[in-house]
Structure 1
Amino acid sequence: MLRTAVIGAGYLGKFHAQKYARLASSHLVGVADINETCGQQVASSCNTHYFSNYRDLIGQVDAVSVVVPTALHHAIASDFLKAGVHVLVEKPIASNVPQAEEMIKLARKQQLILQVGFLERYNAALRCVADKVNQPRFIESHRLASFKPRSLDINVIMDLMIHDLDIILNMVDSPDTGYCGQWQCSLVRHH
């Protein structure tokens, strides 16, 4: 059984905790959040323990989800990777390319899984049409939703458009390089 934890008990963190709590192959050791009320609430609803400091989970877990503001991804994920813990980090992986590359290098060195949470990859509608799309000539993407203030620490490209880029790269059999805001992105397909 995999000992798991969730760092960050906000909007998305609670969903990660719920999934780990329901998996037969997972024992949800705890939920960590600096907001005690939020952390306690999610931990209680998932029948697990609350931790005010994520570092207290090091040595107690095999895998974690890092679901905190992007500015904290690098530091928190790196602490767990250095401790030999597999990490699923919400997108974007980090605040900048050098941080992302450092995390990837650390995961490889430690022979650990570092997974970025691209939830839209598993959207049932997309999975249904994925094998029907071949050699598209034009792709247009629209994301329509009301404003949510939870992602103000990153730009709209890294918050939302990154999903569309990921979907396109996974559906279209073609290498691509694009310019994403301040980032020069080498976009590659992942299987």
Structure 2
Amino acid sequence: MSPRLHPRWRDDGGNATVEFVLVFPVIIWIFFAAMESGLYMTRYVLFDRAVDMAMRDLRLGLIADPDAAKLKDAICNNAILVEDCATSLHIELVSIDTDSWDFPTDPVTCIDRSRPMAPVIEPDLGAPNEIMLVRACATMDAIFPTTGIAANMTKDGNGGYFIVSSSGFVNEP
């Protein structure tokens, strides 16, 4: 024997509204997270390609008298979707010892846009027959910084996340 419900509790009007209010924010959060993840992957692939193209130009000798500014320009000329590339890009060149094959274990240095810029350190392009590791880091802003992948990334003081690309080349004699 079931108890009789008050007529107010038998009315099913508004059920769709309650379901919408409960489900819609979750669906929108998933949508924004997917958009942010897709944008991050697109930016990473395009930035990695720009670094590879610049390193190819460097290996082929197409960059005359390379220095930090020329390397940065070579990367920024090919970089798509990198906002304010000249001020958000940091490049490191590290010589790899071929006897021990020790690669750097320290994290890549990235630019924190909330702090004043540090002086430009001229990268050492290495000696002939030396293997050089290039690590480039660009700081970019998230579209939806509180959703999905962007919420869990390391960020600078302005909320920008870091995209890192590595490449290598051998200095020909």
Q: Which structure has greater helix proportion?
A: 1
Q: Which structure has greater strand proportion?
A: 1
TM-score under structure 2 normalisation?
0.23
TM-score under structure 1 normalisation?
0.21
Larger RCO (alpha carbons 8 Å, 6+ apart): 2
Larger radius of gyration: 2
